[in-house]
Amino acid sequence: MVGTPVTPASKMIQRTPSTTPGGGTRVREEKILVTVRVRPLSRREQALYDLIAWDCPDDHTILFKNPNQERPPTSYKF
């Protein structure tokens, strides 16, 4: 019997909280790896006065520097 081809979308697993013998629910810790690659501006980008849009101030925060000066930067912590 031929099965359905496996695609990334079909690999998605729905998770529900696990239950304890007493009937209570227990939250499981998920392990998520976040990778951010930040590169310096190229000479062409520097010549065009492009701005760096993302910054990593520490190992757990990325900062989006909005080019619209009226909006403050947005930080994401993980």
Q: Position 67: which residue type?
A: P
Query: If DSSP codes are grouped into helix, strand and coil, which group holds residue 15?
Result: coil
CA distance 50 to 42: 9
Confidence at residue 14, expressed as pLDDT on a 0 to 100 scale:
53
Global pTM exceeds 0.75: no
| pLDDT tens by residue, 8-60 | 544 555 555 556 666 666 677 888 887 888 889 999 999 999 988 899 899 88
- Reading the block at residue 44, the tokens are 């062409």
Q: How far apart are CA 64 and CA 76, in angstroms?
A: 8
DSSP characters for 25-57?
EEPPPP---------PPPHHHHHTT----EEEE
Q: Which of 1-5, 18-22, 60-64, 65-69 has the lowest average pLDDT?
A: 1-5
Q: What pLDDT shows up at residue 46?
A: 94
Q: What is the DSSP letter of 62?
A: E
